[in-house]
Amino acid sequence: MRHREGRIHGFVVLEDLNDHLLASGISVQYAQGNRMISELSFRFKDGSVYQETAAYTQNRTFRLLTYHLVQKGPAFKQAIDLSLNTSTGQVTIRYTDDDGKEKTIEERHQLPTDLANGMVPTLLADISPSAPKTTVSMLVATPKPRLVKLAITPAGEDSFTVGGSAEKATRYVVKVDIGGIAGVVAPIVGKQPPDTHVWMIGGKAPGFLKSEGPVFEDGPIWRIALASPVWPKAKSNQK
């Protein structure tokens, strides 16, 4: 761990690659005892809901404790409610099948210590840009629980402007490694997930700028980006 995390309260938007607004959201992070809580939520224009909560510790290394993901509504192909606890290995997934019936999967797994659910931006802010490759684990619902690897590599710098001033962002590529025989077959049958690209600001306080990638299995490429408040225009006092 190179940087300790602290309080965050930011606004984000979710768009498609044609810049159409899909949802507005909030990203918050705060301390609760000796753990950090990271929450990301989106309110979709069509009424869909996306909520992600991760609790972790940061004692020399980042360690995920619990994770909860809820995605439901017409924006998603399948309603999913995923929760996990790394201390017990308990994984619970509630989902709706193709017939609209609610199903529940409850299993215990030997979860790896490098589990990164809900923590990818946090880890990217801590990775040295000179590191050629970083690999972490993630548990996904397919809808059955499945452990995959995320291979994170830096892909150079991209330019952007703020108020007319030029700035640089480091772009990372996050590739899902399914592993096993399924990983060998996936590219052939078209099931290999597309890469996710994440742009981070560096310096003394590294942070997230935007990402482009799928939010759910077999989903389209969506963009998550920081947003600024828009204030109403002041009314003129002139008559």
Give the Å distances, CA to CA, from 219 to 75, 194, 214: 9, 10, 5
Residue 115 per-residue DSSP state: B
For position 2, what pLDDT does the model report? 67
Three-point CA angle 62, 67, 69, nearest 5°: 135
CATH 2.40.360 fits 8-227, yes or no: yes
The residues spanned by each domain of the chain are 8-227
pTM score, two decimals?
0.88
The separation between CA 172 and the C-alpha centre of its own chain, rounded to angstroms, equals 14
Q: What is the enclosing helix (H) or strand (E) of 187?
A: helix 180-189
Nearest to 143 by CA among 89, 196, 103, 183: 103
- Per residue of the chain (239 residues), what is the pLDDT tens digit? 567 777 889 999 999 999 999 999 999 999 998 899 999 999 999 999 999 999 999 888 899 999 999 999 999 989 999 999 999 999 999 998 888 889 999 999 999 999 999 999 999 998 887 889 999 999 999 889 999 999 999 999 999 998 889 999 999 999 998 754 444 333 433 467 899 999 999 888 899 999 999 999 889 999 999 998 888 987 765 55
